[in-house]
Amino acid sequence: MRRLVRKSIENLIPYPPGKPLEELQRESGIVGAIKLASNENPLGPSPKAIMAIKENLNNIQRYPDGSCYDLRQKLAKKFRLPMSRIIVGNGSDEIIGLIVYTFLSPDEEVILPTPTFLLYEKVVEGFGGKIVTAPLRDFSIDLPAILKAVTPETKIIFINNPNNPTGKALKKEELSDFLCSLPPDVIVVLDEAYIEFATDPKVGSAVELLESYPLLVVLRTFSKAYGLAGLRIGYGFASELMIESMNRIRQPFNANYLAQVGALAALDDDEFVEETLTVIRDGLESLYSQLDRIGLKYLTTQTNFFLIKTPLGAEETYRRMLREGVIVRPMESFGLNDYIRISVGLPEENERFIKTLEKILS
């Protein structure tokens, strides 16, 4: 009898998302819980995006613009790139899939730092690609280790910068030297989902490196700094040839109408982005101070989330926090059994997290 499910899919473990607030209320009846597990914007969505969406609700009987012309035009102006070098996706997650399905052949190698964003592994394994891992060094992506892992079979390298879940970031000069050291036929995907939060001036965007490395793909998202995670819209930059190739298999209406409308308006909401960055930076400073007082170790970050080492272990800490109505992310699925990851919330959410953490530890 023929195999029903592809072999590469049979043993694949689904991506474990952060627990939704609604699920916690359904399961335990806890009301008034807070969620600090999925790196979401604590301020909510961009107000300009909300207004634009409300004004366009009467048009949702129409199919969206399959080419995302207006959004690509605005992104082209913002980043000073031709529209032909921009692709829009149903979240940057979809573009990750498009990259793998377009350029990777079965049994070709993909190098992943580890731990990093779990979706890369899921997509590559599901497609039948061969994963080669390069462990982090001091919780940071080890570029020399990645270079050592390159073989003639290497097709794609994924780098999340800043890296999820560790929050550490590579400097632009490091990335430039790294790209120049690679064989010219290796695709490098730099996922910059959290780049807006980086405070180190040496951590610059790789968009400026596109001209010097033809097989570079840079990914961005509206989910984090702009607060549009629920709309699922992201974008990417690459060469015209790579974008044209990915568009051959991209679904014709992959970015929905309201997502495009919201993203267009969000790009004009600089005030909201600045307010978001201020809330995150002030929140980090406060949380670091409280954790120092408690005596817990943590990793400083270039993102809106960070890792905390807990004496109870990741899973036990997660369960105890959950019973108190505080959702955090246990890091066991990333191989970090002693760590939880928390997103920076509003001041009152951060305060509740600290009080709850102290309670469960005592």
pLDDT, tens digit, 9 for 90 and up, residues 274-330: 999 999 999 999 999 999 999 999 999 999 999 999 999 999 999 999 999 999 999
351: domain CATH number is: 3.90.1150.10
Say if residues 190 and 171 touch (Cβ distance below 8 Å).
no
Distance in angstroms (rounded) separating the CA atoms of residues 157 and 216:
10
Task: Please report, for residues 3, 167, 266, the alpha-carbon distance to residue 271 in angstroms, rounded to integers and kept in the order given.
Answer: 55, 24, 10
Is 278 within the bounds of a domain?
A: yes
Number of domains in the chain: 2
User: Are residues 223 and 314 located together in one domain of the fold?
Assistant: no
Who's near 306: CB < 8 A, 6+ residues apart? Answer: 167, 284, 287, 298, 299, 300, 341, 342, 344
Is 108 within the bounds of a domain?
A: yes
Nearest C-alpha neighbor of 123 from the set 153, 150, 93: 93
| Domain around 226 | 60-266
The model carries a pTM of: 0.94
Sign for the pseudo-dihedral over CA of 193, 199, 200, 206: positive
Domain boundary among 266, 291, 317: 266
User: Are residues 69 and 100 located together in one domain of the fold?
Assistant: yes
The one-digit pLDDT tens for each residue of the chain (362 residues) are: 777 777 777 777 777 777 677 777 677 777 789 999 999 999 999 999 999 999 999 999 999 999 999 999 999 999 999 999 999 999 999 999 999 999 999 889 999 999 999 999 999 999 999 999 999 999 999 999 999 999 999 999 999 999 999 999 999 999 999 999 999 999 999 999 999 999 999 998 899 999 999 999 999 999 999 999 999 999 999 999 999 999 999 999 999 999 999 999 999 999 999 999 999 999 999 999 999 999 999 999 999 999 999 999 999 999 999 999 999 999 998 999 999 999 999 999 999 999 999 999 98
Nearest C-alpha neighbor of 171 from the set 183, 181, 159: 159
User: Are residues 40 and 81 located together in one domain of the fold?
Assistant: no
Report DSSP state, residue 38.
Answer: S
Domain boundary among 266, 299, 315: 266
Is 54 within the bounds of a domain?
A: no
Domain boundary among 212, 236, 266: 266
pLDDT of residue 7: 74
Is 136 within the bounds of a domain?
A: yes
Task: Please report, for residues 232, 252, 255, 264, 294, the alpha-carbon distance to residue 63 in angstroms, rounded to integers and kept in the order given.
Answer: 17, 10, 10, 17, 54
84: domain CATH number is: 3.40.640.10
User: Are residues 71 and 201 located together in one domain of the fold?
Assistant: yes
DSSP string, 200-264: -TT---GGGGTTT-TTEEEEEESSSTT--GGG--EEEE--HHHHHHHHTTS-TT-S-HHHHHHHH
User: Are residues 69 and 196 located together in one domain of the fold?
Assistant: yes
pLDDT in tens, 322-357: 999 999 999 998 999 999 999 999 999 999 999 999
